[in-house]
Amino acid sequence: MSVDTKMFSVSSKGNTDIIDITGDVQGAVSESKVKSGIAVVFVAGSTAGVSTIEFEPGLVKDIPRALEKIAPKDFDYEHHKTWGCDNGSSHVRSTLVGPSFTTAV
């Protein structure tokens, strides 16, 4: 069994910015020359998440609205008190979304 690792970077505006990385993932899989197997997509960082969605304008609006209801930005997070920052909602949101997904190639 062979393992091929590919990496790419994207920039985010933060706070529920949704970025379509489909082309990046497809490119990495194509470059690998793997004919069948699995691809693991992982984002490093404790305030980011990666998921699969139908990337369309409605969901790009719906997901941030839903996350704001579940983990509102203006909430009294204990994390803020511990670290003196204001990104507690980002940590909670990334925990809910998750840092990775695996798909068949």
Is residue 3 over pLDDT 90? no
Alpha carbon distances (Å) from 1 to 4, 16, 26, 44, 99: 10, 37, 21, 25, 25
- How far, in Å, CA of 18 to CA of 76, rounded? 25
In tens, the pLDDT along 9-63 reads 999 998 899 999 999 999 999 999 888 999 999 999 999 999 999 999 999 999 9
Q: Which amino acid is at 76?
A: D
Structural domains in the chain, sorted by start: 22-104 (2.60.120.460)
Contact status, residue 45 vs residue 58, Cβ threshold 8 Å: no
